[in-house]
Amino acid sequence: MVPGARSFDLAGGNGGAYRIMVAVPAGAPPPGGFPVLYHLDGNAVFGSMVEAMRIQGARGAATGVAPGVIVGIGTAVDGPFDKLRRTLDYTPAADPATLGERPDGGAWSETGGADAFVEVIESQVKPLVAGLAPVDPARQALFGHSLGGLVALHMLLTRPLAFARIVAVSPSLWWNGGALLRDLDARCAALPAGRARVMIAVGGAEEPAETPGEDAHAARRRAHRLVTNARAFADRLPADEFRILPGENHGSAVHAALGAALRFALPAMIETTHHDRRDTAPGSP
């Protein structure tokens, strides 16, 4: 556990316990309360997220990052991931017969628990955090990677006012035959004007070109069109910020995105204009 952080186990949702890790900045909160960044895959990313925030938040005028509460949402396991729970919690409902094989080549475990998981965040995790520190309900953000990025965008479309900002890194938009992207235009028409601002990032190496003798993993990644789909979602939403992370793959993109994600999710100064879309590599695939 990160020094100074606290950990809580919560029951509910899709069964089993959720491990909630909370780090509150030192010092007095701003008048409206601290901003909050909730992030998924808490077991794997919490330490990195907290240290990045502490370093950058201490020099907000230079870094653009405000001190904020970091909340890691994980599961009660010792390792970085609980593969079965992650697959259940982070996927919207889908017909198992249409899913094909997993990206790692294996069979799918239970899926489709995203809405129950989202309800845990809203009904249990947010009240827990509000009881630990003064927080600003208007400055709450959500960060997710891969399937976590998928459920973050699902939450944007189903609960568009739940967060002020959403960061989706390498979102798994191939899920369920690309349903989230396929239905985006119709679902965007129903979004309120005050819906969450969105940053989407993806590694530049996540959609590899076909090469002779490539392994099955590379072929599956290319078929998932992670870069193409992320760009299309960002264009059609539209996202406030879109970034290609040059040279980064699916595993490395989450850490490569942390600096930009913190500036977007915990801005030291609130922007007055929307849709300041930036693409760091316009010529990337």
Residue 65 pairs in a beta bridge with 267
- 110 labelled catalytic: no
Neighbour tally for 284: CB within 10 Å = 17
Q: Which residue type occupies 71?
A: V
Q: For Cα atoms 245, 279, 231, give the angle at the middle one, nearest 5 degrees.
A: 85
Catalytically annotated residue among 145, 146, 172, 241: 146
Q: Which residue type occupies 239?
A: A
Catalytically annotated residue among 122, 214, 217, 275: 214
Residues in the chain, total = 285
Q: Comparing C-alpha atoms, which of 274, 270, 266 is closest to residue 141?
A: 266
- 146 labelled catalytic: yes
186-218 burial, b if ≥16 CB within 10 A, otherwise e? eeeeeeeeebbbbbbbbbbbbbbeeeeeeeeee
Catalytically annotated residue among 145, 154, 224, 250: 250
Count CA atoms closer than 13 A to 284's CA, side-chain side: 26
User: What are the residue numbers of the active site?
Assistant: 146, 214, 250
